[in-house]
Structure 1
């Protein structure tokens, strides 16, 4: 077999995505109020613990259970937010509401005849999940929005996000194939859009919308329950911020370096001072990148993404093939002549934070992985 073809097939065979926890959790067995715990975590680590998904929950729970504490502070605190967002925590930049929508009474959204409508979250509808490996998945059973999201998170990635016109057309096309373009409620299909009015926000300003409240919580029993603690089973409770509990800090595994360096200089910096330029081989890591890249001072930020000209393909500096992809339109295509302009991968620090290819001599901020 031709060596080039063999190498290509080998890389494709190795293209497996593993979920990777991108925070390190530290259990602090000292009793403090929520504000005191926040100050301690910010001085010694990154912040009070943020939780993005069940992988984070399981990782954090190992430490919580080892500590044997009844309650443990995490970084979720009540604020005054009232806005629509996607399950990943991304703001809604692309709008596709039907005329007169949203009405403001309901907190979840369906796609109906190609447009969005708000609907009571307890209504039951078909729904569409997004799967990092296989794409869109239409689920032919009816659940309420919360149960639909749980189903998607357990079996795929999450309820589908519709962040631009191209994604909207793909979702509409799948609905038309599965249930038809009718005006019956059957063609109203849950998407991941929901209204954040639980007024809770993470201490590190993360966009994570993940919640794991115990049934009946938050209940603001007696008033003034504005902070969040977890029990030994990992269930969340709203409690008074002045209570004194042990607490959980986290340390981000990604860090934005606000120095303007070429790609090669950035790679050298990360390897000398941390571990490497970041490799974004899953949607989970992309969400972490989206959280930290907001701190950058340049419009684009280097990733550990480079074009391997001999094979005419993109690879991560960690050696992984680019399986999960988040390219902006017109980027990530094959290079006809690599000798003309060597290009590397960067992520946009604003907008929808897609990947773009740039000449490696550009000087940008960059993201290092610390573990």
Structure 2
């Protein structure tokens, strides 16, 4: 076995990142309320549609094509609930709790507020020259910084003043998104960029807060509201669900949950199995019922795993990560080398105990959800993948 793995590792000379869609979208051309649509999706697929990024959004639009009316339901909704036929539902709803989130879809785990901030009055964030953040009214006009999907490949200062939504739209059309500052290292990179480019004014970053959540409880903070949305038209507090407009450019609006619209479901490609099995048993289960244990070969895939593991019943969850004592390396069961790293401190060094037990990799179900090295005979929940590698 180890000799075969050794040959695989030798043959894989370069790290590769697979471009995988997280979900398969299914357009349902039947009109239902948000609750009825949610029930249908959960019975037949996984849930009402969740969207993590613009790639997902394009996949969702392709699934809709020319079906339905003018609007389609997705899975975004307010928790405060209250006919028609012009929207398509997705799985986004409003809640009673505001959370700070990144425009690109990641949760805001790292925060660098100026003392006394945020003061609770505003819903968008700017960065000052010293690198600290300040909340600001989203309607104010500031210059801003865009980034590519990988911060290491480029930051872009836009010396035009726009409100936060228009700045977000500009970045998505020309680069990737408003810049995310997800940790201390990225904060230093952005601050150095500001100083190197002699940017003397405050700039928008991609941090915002809102009270919307996905039906499947996903941590994705991606939003694609149409200009002026969500607007709670009439001020009656009843527009608590999100729908996709079929009009160009097919963005989202808020609308009452009780209206009847066609909708989009999604089917996850990552499946949490809440059974406690050893690593070899978990791999066998996944290969018999799906494709394999999940391989986490990119930061994007790690975010998808984070959405799944929070529902686990064990402190850690098996991944398709294995250690070879022969060559002293970790590898994925899919045949990929471990290029993207997300190890907890003291784990994944390669200097493993090869005498007492074979080591396999798991992801923490709580905290910052890092990877850990564990004896393969531990019994844990695990994540199966439907991806064909």
Note if contact 1:175-1:181 (Cα within 8 Å) is conserved in structure 2: no
CA shift, 1:176, in A, is 5.0
Alpha-carbon separation, structure 2, partners of 1:273 and 1:318:
16
Is the aligned partner of 1:218 residue 2:230? yes
Is the aligned partner of 1:49 residue 2:61? no
Aligned residue number for residue 243 of structure 2: 229
Compared CA separation, residues 195 and 141, structure 1 to 2 (3 A): same
Aligned residue number for residue 281 of structure 2: 265
Note if contact 2:179-2:205 (Cα within 8 Å) is conserved in structure 1: yes
Compared CA separation, residues 342 and 147, structure 1 to 2 (3 A): farther
Is the aligned partner of 1:127 residue 2:151? no
Note if contact 2:113-2:134 (Cα within 8 Å) is conserved in structure 1: yes
Alpha-carbon separation, structure 2, partners of 1:336 and 1:239:
55
Aligned residue number for residue 28 of structure 1: 28
Is the aligned partner of 1:40 residue 2:54? no
CA shift, 1:120, in A, is 3.7
Compared CA separation, residues 230 and 173, structure 1 to 2 (3 A): closer
Give the secondary-structure state (helix, strand or coil) at the position aligned to 2:233: coil
Alpha-carbon separation, structure 1, partners of 2:119 and 2:196:
23
2:209 to 195, 211, 216: 195
Give RMSD over aligned pairs: 3.1
Is the aligned partner of 1:159 residue 2:175? no
Aligned residue number for residue 218 of structure 2: 206
Alpha-carbon separation, structure 1, partners of 2:242 and 2:294:
31
- Between 1:305-314 and 1:170-179, the stretch displaced more is 170-179
1:141 to 152, 158, 161: 158
Alpha-carbon separation, structure 2, partners of 1:94 and 1:173:
13
Note if contact 1:160-1:192 (Cα within 8 Å) is conserved in structure 2: yes
Note if contact 2:6-2:327 (Cα within 8 Å) is conserved in structure 1: no
Q: Deviations over 1:3-36 (max 9, x none)?
A: x9997675233x2213211111111121212221
Aligned residue number for residue 318 of structure 2: 302
Compared CA separation, residues 140 and 252, structure 1 to 2 (3 A): same
Q: Which runs of 5+ in 2 are unaligned?
A: 79-93
Alpha-carbon separation, structure 2, partners of 1:187 and 1:21:
38
Compared CA separation, residues 313 and 187, structure 1 to 2 (3 A): farther
CA shift, 1:356, in A, is 1.7
Q: Deviations over 1:89-127 (max 9, x none)?
A: 555454432221112233233444243322344442453
For 1:51-130, what aligned pairs fall within 5 Å after superposition?
A: 51-78=51-78, 79=94, 80-87=96-103, 91-112=107-128, 113-121=130-138, 122-127=140-145, 129=147
Give the secondary-structure state (helix, strand or coil) at the position aligned to 2:195: coil
Aligned residues: 358
Compared CA separation, residues 311 and 176, structure 1 to 2 (3 A): same
Note if contact 2:347-2:372 (Cα within 8 Å) is conserved in structure 1: yes
Alpha-carbon separation, structure 2, partners of 1:215 and 1:94:
29
Is the aligned partner of 1:283 residue 2:299? yes
TM-score with structure 2 setting the length: 0.80
Note if contact 1:152-1:159 (Cα within 8 Å) is conserved in structure 2: no
CA shift, 1:189, in A, is 5.2
Q: Which runs of 5+ in 1 are unaligned?
A: none
CA shift, 1:369, in A, is 1.2
